[in-house]
Chain A
Amino acid sequence: DQQVKQNSPSLSVQEGRISILNCDYTNSMFDYFLWYKKYPAEGPTFLISISSIKDKNEDGRFTVFLNKSAKHLSLHIVPSQPGDSAVYFCAATSQGGSEKLVFGKGTKLTVNP
């Protein structure tokens, strides 16, 4: 049973517009969430994270929103750029020392010029 779900395998947006990537989780013990970006032939790179004590975290063009009651988080990219085209993975973990991340399947974002 998948504990972290990214239900959209792909998303296509125009350059300059907003990209919204969604992620749902089922485990209420998760209290820290991360987004990773992956280009072909490279490993995932950390993008942004959010703790469950917050509902929003912003870093430049990237903002992550967390809705704990809905067990839902989203990543907003504004404005989207062609270089943002990549696969985006949502991941979740819970405090406990194991540093175990549970990943979603990823969403492939394509930003068209």
Chain B
Amino acid sequence: ETGVTQTPRHLVMGMTNKKSLKCEQHLGHNAMYWYKQSAKKPLELMFVYSLEERVENNSVPSRFSPECPNSSHLFLHLHTLQPEDSALYLCASSQVRTSGYNEQFFGPGTRLTVL
């Protein structure tokens, strides 16, 4: 595997279900991100993990729970979601340095549908 991978690619769940999205990066990066892309909206940053510590949480409802067990893996645990949570969920990674900028590399996304 290369780059950033995400599983599953598609997920349909009921509002009472519990499911998890998985992301793995094979780039040796030290930061990982979850984004949400809804129709006709910009990509919205949800969570940032840098060096396995959560450094950003953009007022995301508690029904979304991230987990970063190591620098290569990132999970998004889903519980009692609402239909408006249906969206494309994108994972990304980057190498954070003390100066300069680095582009983020994205996975293919998980298309989530909440019934």
A residues contacting B by CB (< 8 A) are 2, 4, 32, 34, 36, 41-46, 49, 51, 89, 93, 95, 97-106
Contact A101 B42 (CB under 8 A): no
Interface mask (B52-79 → A, CB under 8 Å = 1, otherwise 0): 0001100000000000000000000000
20 further interface pairs, Cβ-Cβ under 8 Å (given A43-B6, A99-B96)? A2-B42, A36-B106, A43-B4, A43-B106, A43-B109, A44-B106, A45-B105, A46-B104, A49-B103, A89-B42, A97-B98, A98-B56, A99-B31, A99-B102, A100-B45, A101-B45, A103-B42, A103-B43, A104-B42, A106-B42
B residues 65-115 in Cβ contact with A at 8 Å? 90, 92, 94, 96, 98-99, 101-109
Q: Give Cα distance in the complex from A89 to B43, angstroms.
A: 9
Q: Give Cα distance in the complex from A97 to B41, angstroms.
A: 25
Which bracket fits the contact residues of B? 20 to 34
A-B contact count (CB 8 A): 60
Contact B101 A51 (CB under 8 A): yes
